[in-house]
Structure 1
Amino acid sequence: MRHRERLSVFVLLVLCVTWSANGGNILVWYTEGSHWINMKPVLETLVDRGHQVTVLVPSTSMYMNKSEPSRFSYEPFNVSVSKEDMQRMMEKVFYFSIYEMPHMSYLEIYIKFMSIIKDNMQYSLKYLDGVLKSETTMKRLKEGKYDLLLSDPVFPGSDLTADILGLPLVFSLRFSLAHNWERLCGQLPAPRSFVPGAVSKLTDKMDFSERVWNFLFYTLQDAVFDYIFWPELDKYYSEVKGEPTSACEMMGRADIWLMRTYWDFDFPRPFLPNFKFVGGIHCRPAKPLPKDIEKFVQSSGDDGIVVFTLGSFIKNITMEKANMIASALAQIPQKVLWRYSGAKPETLGANTRLYDWIPQNDLLGHPKTRAFITHGGTNGIYEAIYHGVPMVGIPLFGDQPDNMVHMKAKGVAITVQINFMKTEDLRDAINSVINDKSYKENAMRLSSIHHDRPVSPLNESVFWIEFTMRNKGAQHLRVKAHELTWYQYHSLDVLVFLLAMVLLLIIIFIKTCRFCLRVCCGRKGKTKQKAE
């Protein structure tokens, strides 16, 4: 078995090396934030392997910096949205998610949520205008002679652009709400009985009431998409194509879906041949720390250190929360490295040092790291899994609460709520994940699962991108479910036919019995008359 696995890996690497000798020309769709962080290692590896990579970047991008030194090229385009408008929209979303949502009813949350989706859709379409409705940009893209389009579909339109340019399409996606895109467009099976909807805060071990909620969650999220998301996108796509066009069907034409999750993080579920689970693309071994940080880390002695960050989007929090958190950190024996850009908390202890930026991955891979306090972003969680570090979660927005439910279910994390936690809650949570050895043991077990693959997630991602270019697509991996109607997919037409046949047989049987009874009764009557 070992020999066969090694042979498979060798063949995979030979194919990759053979293709890289004839590099392709790859167009990359624009994205933002942590999505861009996940995309960059893939692009750098593709460049290393001899491919030309061109990245579409909007004029108001907050994280894609076309002026920074890079080994891939940028294709800039103008959008009618200012950076200030985007920042205001994001701050609005953060404020709602962190401070308003915990105090609202489900109805109020959904009303506000639909309003946010509408606003976000309008911004997304304005970005898309900068590509598809710009003659200059489309002319350059058509002249680029690209072999493939690589996209994170969080920003819509890459599928339509790939269709217009006649390019194979590869998606790199973490998730969609309730797996809407994956299920309805990609045809990925998701039985509601044991596959929790994304962001439902459920695990795969559901009792009856949880299965009811999971069923309703899928239904409600699908209704939101059907009411707001898909009609707007269908209208836009139809306008560009000049004919009625389904955006979901267009998305379903993607050749490969690179799903940025894996079974160390996610729960087991059915999947299809063109869905590849590659969670942890950006993870890598730790590098040496800067000298000043290394000195502070070494000063922790046997107690070790705690790494604390709330991600790239959240730069600071209210002073009340900062003082409460600082007070909790001051009560633990470990040294703490806290990424924080706000005003210095009054309760900050001597064991805690504030940084505008920290080398998070390198700190998590340091032997003195005992715990990771995180907002629950997928990138940070995967780095903690990679290095086997237990976590304390302070989820803030988006998929973060759901991510921490996954980590808690796997026995590697404790979660506290930022709006309701007290100083002692955070202090006790940190002490528990450090002193209770089961958290470290479970973290090391997940780390072992993450590393025990025939090929790394980064190399697997690159392989499938090159595979799609080599074969001019991967349509042979798409299931025929794409060509079925909803009633054909669920075999409802077959069920109706069989029921009709059963009903017909019952009717024939009843009619036959009645006929036989009439014949028998008629004969008996005639025999009686003759006897008389």
Structure 2
Amino acid sequence: FFSPFTAPSHSNFFKRVVNALADRGHSVTFWNGLKPQNESALRNRNQKINLSLLYSPQLEKFNLDHQVKFHDQNNQFLLFFNMANRLEIFCKSIYQDPIFHQLMNTKERYDLIIVEAILNDCVLPLIRILDAPLIYTNGIAPTPWLLDILGSPLALDHFPNPGLSFTDEMNLFQRTFNTISSLVVLYFRHWFTMSVVDRVARDMLGDNLTTIDEIESRYLSLLITNTHFSINYQLPTSSAVIEGGGLHCVPPEPLPHELESFIDASGDAGFIIVSFDSILKGVDIPNNVRRIFLSTFARLSQRVLWKWEETIGIKDERIPSNIRLLPWLHQQDLLGHSKVRLFITHGGLFSNQEAVFHGVPLIVLPVFADQPINAQKALDDGYAIRFF
């Protein structure tokens, strides 16, 4: 299982699959670009022999800071069209990584390779070397190029591009824009982005390489996408596309004593969770928005748990006594708590799924990628208020 470029929230989804495979007795090699916070979560006494964890410290800096800011809200397509430049940097790091060369020269034989589909195109030369069937796992709704590779209908007349915030009931202009923009990103990825990956691979690994398009065409057998018919817009898919949404959703576990005491002191008013997940940083929230949050929360009877990675930008401000800033939240344990009243979030699909699983209403402030469309669907279905 290869996910050298990932995010903590995405890894939680994939670790469930890794664990399930290992629990069933399969021999699993898992290459992840993040150091496990708790290795026992991926490895227990019964799994030590058949689960090999590979970690690349030099890749972690990319996974902890994806260079996406709140002001990118209006730059959706710029982020996509800059993907070629980002992949060039990622590929050079991948092809210099000792783990890549360890896998490239291994004598092990694999029956199946699973790859996180977002920004991990650089590892595909390994598929050709290891000569095994490929499965993509995707943390968001399937993109046009993934559907196209698998011969699945794009259904652009009613299935909105995950990067837009249209619904499945579009007017003529929206259908036209949805169709054109989806085809543009599909062919841009094919003709421009993948050509960059191929060029870097040739420069660093040798000339006699199979192209990324050829590898996907020959080896890709299945896409497991993190969507579910209950909270995503639907589209007709081929049998090679499987919806596995919510695999990471689990019942809550007890909270640390100090955190539980802070929550208990809220009484019947309960508490609010504020988190923009692992890609967006609290420190990057615009100053005016942060001050609005602080002044509003100070007037509430609820207590507030706010994911804030650093004290930079907020250390000189007085933090109201009902607010607790934490560098990391036990999000599912908090969402499953009996006193939770509201979740203020960016609208990432993982967070939305967890909120629905635990029955918590949302206020959503989407920023980039699929967050606007997730926010729109949650608004349409009646369990969220959307801003922006």
Counterpart of 1:256 in 2: which secondary structure? strand
- Which of 6, 12, 18 matches 1:43? 18
Note the C-alpha offset of 1:128: 3.9
1:32 is aligned to 6
Q: Deviation per CA, 1:462-520, whole angstroms, max 9, x where unpaired?
A: xxxxxxxxxxxxxxxxxxxxxxxxxxxxxxxxxxxxxxxxxxxxxxxxxxxxxxxxxxx
The residue type equivalent to 2:325 in the other structure is: L
- Which of 73, 84, 87 matches 1:121? 87
- Which of 369, 393, 396 matches 2:364? 393
In structure 2, the CA distance between the partners of 1:280 and 1:210, relative to structure 1 (3 Å rule), is same
* Residue correspondence of structure 1 range 236-255 to structure 2 within 5 A: 245-252=210-217, 253-255=219-221
Higher-Rg member (1/2)? 1
Between the two proteins, what is the percent identity of the paired residues? 25
* Partner Cα separation in structure 1 for residue 181 and residue 135 of structure 2: 28
Contact 1:131–1:137 (8 Å) recurs in 2: no
In structure 2, the CA distance between the partners of 1:351 and 1:112, relative to structure 1 (3 Å rule), is closer
* Partner Cα separation in structure 2 for residue 131 and residue 100 of structure 1: 30
Counterpart of 1:90 in 2: which secondary structure? coil
* Partner Cα separation in structure 2 for residue 163 and residue 131 of structure 1: 18
The residue type equivalent to 1:324 in the other structure is: I
Note the C-alpha offset of 1:358: 2.1
TM-score by length of 1: 0.63
- Which of 90, 98, 116 matches 2:66? 90
Contact 2:121–2:212 (8 Å) recurs in 1: no
In structure 2, the CA distance between the partners of 1:131 and 1:171, relative to structure 1 (3 Å rule), is farther
When the two chains are superposed, the root-mean-square deviation of aligned CA atoms in Å is 3.1
- Which of 296, 301, 317 matches 1:333? 301
- Which of 150, 172, 186 matches 1:186? 150
In structure 2, the CA distance between the partners of 1:51 and 1:316, relative to structure 1 (3 Å rule), is same
Is 1:379 paired with 2:350?
A: yes
In structure 2, the CA distance between the partners of 1:281 and 1:99, relative to structure 1 (3 Å rule), is same
- Which of 278, 281, 286 matches 1:312? 278
Note the C-alpha offset of 1:130: 3.7
- Which of 378, 401, 406 matches 2:377? 406
Note the C-alpha offset of 1:256: 1.9
Larger RCO (CA within 8 A; separation ≥ 6): 2
Note the C-alpha offset of 1:82: 7.2
In structure 2, the CA distance between the partners of 1:217 and 1:345, relative to structure 1 (3 Å rule), is farther
The residue type equivalent to 2:20 in the other structure is: T
Instruction: Select between 284-293 and 243-252 the one with higher mean Cα deviation.
Output: 243-252
- Which of 265, 269, 289 matches 1:303? 269
TM-score by length of 2: 0.84
Q: Deviation per CA, 1:279-313, whole angstroms, max 9, x where unpaired?
A: 11111011122222222222222222211111123
Contact 1:323–1:345 (8 Å) recurs in 2: no
Note the C-alpha offset of 1:325: 1.0
In structure 2, the CA distance between the partners of 1:67 and 1:285, relative to structure 1 (3 Å rule), is closer
The residue type equivalent to 1:406 in the other structure is: K
Counterpart of 2:121 in 1: which secondary structure? coil
Contact 1:256–1:275 (8 Å) recurs in 2: yes
1:99 is aligned to 71
Counterpart of 1:307 in 2: which secondary structure? strand
- Residues matched between the structures, number: 371
Q: Deviation per CA, 1:171-211, whole angstroms, max 9, x where unpaired?
A: 111347x8232232111212211111111111101122211
Note the C-alpha offset of 1:77: 6.2
* Structure 2 residue ranges without an equivalent (≥5): 44-50
* Partner Cα separation in structure 2 for residue 113 and residue 389 of structure 1: 32
* Partner Cα separation in structure 2 for residue 338 and residue 248 of structure 1: 43
Note the C-alpha offset of 1:326: 1.0
Counterpart of 2:354 in 1: which secondary structure? helix
Counterpart of 1:126 in 2: which secondary structure? helix
Q: Which structure has the highest helix share of the two?
A: 1
* Partner Cα separation in structure 2 for residue 139 and residue 163 of structure 1: 12
1:153 is aligned to 117
Note the C-alpha offset of 1:101: 5.2
In structure 2, the CA distance between the partners of 1:194 and 1:345, relative to structure 1 (3 Å rule), is farther
The residue type equivalent to 1:365 in the other structure is: G
Note the C-alpha offset of 1:133: 11
* Partner Cα separation in structure 1 for residue 185 and residue 84 of structure 2: 14
* Partner Cα separation in structure 2 for residue 29 and residue 385 of structure 1: 26
Contact 1:159–1:169 (8 Å) recurs in 2: no
- Which of 162, 179, 185 matches 1:198? 162
Contact 2:348–2:371 (8 Å) recurs in 1: yes
Is 1:277 paired with 2:243?
A: yes
* Partner Cα separation in structure 2 for residue 67 and residue 334 of structure 1: 31
Counterpart of 2:181 in 1: which secondary structure? helix
1:55 is aligned to 30
* Partner Cα separation in structure 2 for residue 327 and residue 206 of structure 1: 38
The residue type equivalent to 1:333 in the other structure is: S
